[in-house]
Amino acid sequence: MASITKRGTSWFVQIRRKGFRPRYRSFASRSDAQQWARIEESAMDNGLGRVDTGRKSDPTIAELLRKYSRQVASKNKGAETEQLRLAKMSEAPFAFLTASSITSASIADYRNERLKVVKPATVRRELGMLRRVIEVARKDWGSPIRGNPVAQISFPPAKDARDRRLRGDEFERLLSAIERGRNPLIKPLVLFALETGLRRGEMLRLQWRDIDIEVRWALIRNTKNGSDRTIPLSKAAVAILDGLDMSRCAPFPLSGNALRQCWTRACERAEIKDLRFHDLRHEAISRLFELGLTVPEVALISGHRDARMLFRYTHLAPLAVRERLDRLAQN
| Catalytic-residue membership of 313 | yes
* Candidates 25, 114, 200, 281; catalytic one: 281
SS (H, E, C) 250-285: CCCCCCHHHHHHHHHHHHHHHCCCCCCCCHHHHHHH
Q: Please name the CATH architecture into which domain 170-330 falls.
A: Orthogonal Bundle (1.10)
* Candidates 25, 67, 85, 199; catalytic one: 199
Q: What is the pLDDT of residue 94?
A: 87
* Candidates 164, 224, 229, 269; catalytic one: 224
* Candidates 278, 305, 322, 327; catalytic one: 278
Tell me, what DSSP letter sits at residue 119?
A: -
Q: Strands, DSSP E only, in the chain?
A: 3-7, 10-15, 23-27, 211-212, 217-220, 229-232
| Catalytic-residue membership of 224 | yes
Q: What is the mean pLDDT of each run of 10 residues along the chain (331 residues)?
A: 81 80 78 80 68 61 92 82 89 86 90 89 92 92 87 83 86 95 95 94 93 93 79 94 93 92 95 94 89 84 76 59 67 62
What is the spatial order of strands in the sheet that 229-232 belongs to? 211-212, 217-220, 229-232
Q: What is the pLDDT of residue 18?
A: 75
Q: What is the pLDDT of residue 5?
A: 86
Q: What is the pLDDT of residue 32?
A: 80
Nearest-angstrom CA–CA distance, 218 and 231: 5
CB-count burial class (<10 Å; 0-12, 13-18, 19+) for 106: buried
What is the domain partition of the chain in residue ranges?
Answer: 1-55, 59-159, 170-330
Q: What is the pLDDT of residue 223?
A: 78
Q: What backbone phi and psi angles, to 5 degrees, belong to 45?
A: -60, -30
Topology (CATH) of 59-159: DNA polymerase; domain 1 (1.10.150)
| Catalytic-residue membership of 68 | no
Q: What is the pLDDT of residue 54?
A: 45
| Catalytic-residue membership of 75 | no
Q: What is the pLDDT of residue 53?
A: 45
Instruction: Identify whether the C-beta of residue 219 lies closer than 8 Å to the C-beta of residue 303.
Output: no
| Catalytic-residue membership of 281 | yes
Instruction: Identify whether the C-beta of residue 34 lies closer than 8 Å to the C-beta of residue 1.
Output: no
